[in-house]
Structure 1
């Protein structure tokens, strides 16, 4: 079995959505003096590679802590959207079944530490989002900061259909040559609308 990490490193240097506070990672205990090491984290949920639950956009939506662990494992499907519109054409010659985890590769993760990252990212079309809901996928992920922009119609459409959203993926290009792979996407079990998530692709050797 081979494993590919699709997760950005969580650090104080991560870019943040314009207007959001920067994350802080402060060392509060040191091995030389206290005999152990400890860090304190102060951060919004929506930084780095993270997962959004319906509560993020829907008043009465579910929290991540309400999902069973099996919801975060599944068959992965990679859609190549580099230099393409994220529309129904991406689904040509692709088979998507109920419960799949669909990842959209735009290549935009390469701009992660640049000013363009939160300004110029591509968006998912409504037709594409509706098709994902129709197919019954359980998680959608993308290597950009968001599937859409205000007023977040795509977020809400997906979440109303109980589709979790992973933002800020990385390394999706490493999956291009693999026809089949499984995904493990385990978020921290926070009683909240979102959480950091470690996303790993599992490939048969």
Structure 2
């Protein structure tokens, strides 16, 4: 293991020790007043580097053609509010002090996603059934981007996973394993992104990860797990009650080992897909990403120009017409 990743492992071990101290009996807590989760945040998470692994979604992104694209528009009043607004009128900054956006979403299989089993399995968990323990996990990144550069239809194999373990050690139980293909760099190529050949993950690799390594779920950069005629990998996963991440971005900007991933997703009751956000939490000396110290998040930056809707209904800072 490299010196960098030895250092990462030591940092994660220290965090685990601090977390363990947090949940010791009350008397032990009294003796370790400062060893709580807030202290873990101050010593570990505040200086960590955060990398967004999520595409923003819009009406123009790639999507399976059987679903179609979303529509964004200004929100209009749903009823008369006497002296304020009439039904069907648009809310504006000038007249009402605020605006809102209406999203017409033809599918929950859109953009960067978290797929629950209910997407394919009529007895499967829906997105609102996923436990809160999904929130943060170890992140493993298996890099196959060179194989994909030579063969766009390359599917990650058990040998690729074993090569990762030969360098970094056994994949942690309960971790999230992301397959780096660099396919996310073609996100703006809407016509090409979803066309075959594109990279995937082989069924033996998925079975190895879940049955031999007991991971939480895997993720990939394309919008499908594989390109087999029956989508055999996706079928196996969801019919065996495993979730998966799709449409993930920026895996080239995070370490292969030693990082964590924070997982957030919308929670429509009974939903068959999740509009998800994945954030990699990397060591403080990692060259990519930003820390809380660098970007505290409050107050948020001011836009350079007023927000105006473009032709697709998306709000963007727009300079005045010259």
Which residue of the other structure, out of 156, 162, 177, is the alignment partner of 1:86? 156
Structure 1 runs not aligned, ≥5 long: none
Answering whether residue 200 of structure 2 is matched by residue 200 of structure 1, we say no
Deviation at 1:156, TM superposition (A): 2.1
Instruction: Please tell me the root mean square deviation across aligned C-alpha atoms, in Å.
Output: 1.5
1:152-171 to 2 correspondence within 5 Å? 152-171=231-250
Displacement of 1:173 in angstroms is 0.2
Q: Is the 8 A contact 1:140 1:163 kept in 2?
A: no
d(CA) in 2 for partners of 1:133, 1:97? 11
Shift of 1:116: 1.5
2-side partners of 1:71 and 1:162: how far apart?
Answer: 15
Q: Equivalent residue for 1:190? A: 268
Conserved 8 A contact 2:262-2:279: yes
Tell me the TM-score normalized by structure 1: 0.93
Is this contact kept in 1: 2:200–2:220, CA < 8 A?
no
Give the secondary-structure state (helix, strand or coil) at the position aligned to 2:63. coil
Q: Which moved more, 1:117-126 or 1:146-155?
A: 146-155
Whether the 8 Å contact between 1:65 and 1:189 is mirrored in structure 2 is yes
C-alpha distance after superposition, 1:118-175 (max 9, x if no partner): 0121121111111012121112111111112452221121223432111111111001
Task: Give the structure with the higher percent strand.
Answer: 1
TM-score w.r.t. length of structure 2:
0.60
1:24-173 aligned at under 5 Å gives the runs 24-28=71-75, 29-43=91-105, 44-84=107-147, 85-91=155-161, 92-94=163-165, 95-114=170-189, 115-119=191-195, 120-134=197-211, 135-149=213-227, 150-173=229-252
Write the distance in 2 (CA, Å) between the matches of 1:5 and 1:187: 14
Q: CA deviation at 1:5?
A: 0.3
Structure 2 alignment gaps of length 5 or more: 1-47, 76-90, 148-154, 285-322
Match of 2:259 among 178, 181, 184: 181
Contact 2:138–2:176 (Cα < 8 Å) also in 1: yes
Name the one with the larger helix percent. 2
Q: How many residues align?
A: 204
Q: Deviations over 1:17-66 (max 9, x none)?
A: 12322111111232122221100111111111111000001111100111
CA contact (8 A) 1:6 1:200 kept: yes
Confirm or deny: 8 A CA contact 2:116 2:272 kept in the other structure. Answer: yes
| Alpha-carbon separation, structure 2, partners of 1:121 and 1:33 | 49
SS at match of 2:210: helix
- Structure index of larger Rg: 2
Q: Aligned equivalents of 2:175 and 2:182: distance in 1? A: 21
Q: Which moves more between the two structures, 148-157 or 95-104? A: 148-157
- For 2:301, the equivalent position in structure 1 comes to none
Instruction: Tell me if the contact between 1:138 and 1:162 (Cα under 8 Å) persists in the aligned partners.
Output: no
The one of the two structures with greater contact order (alpha-carbon pairs below 8 A, sep at least 6) is 1
Structure 1 runs (4+) greater than 3 angstroms displaced? none
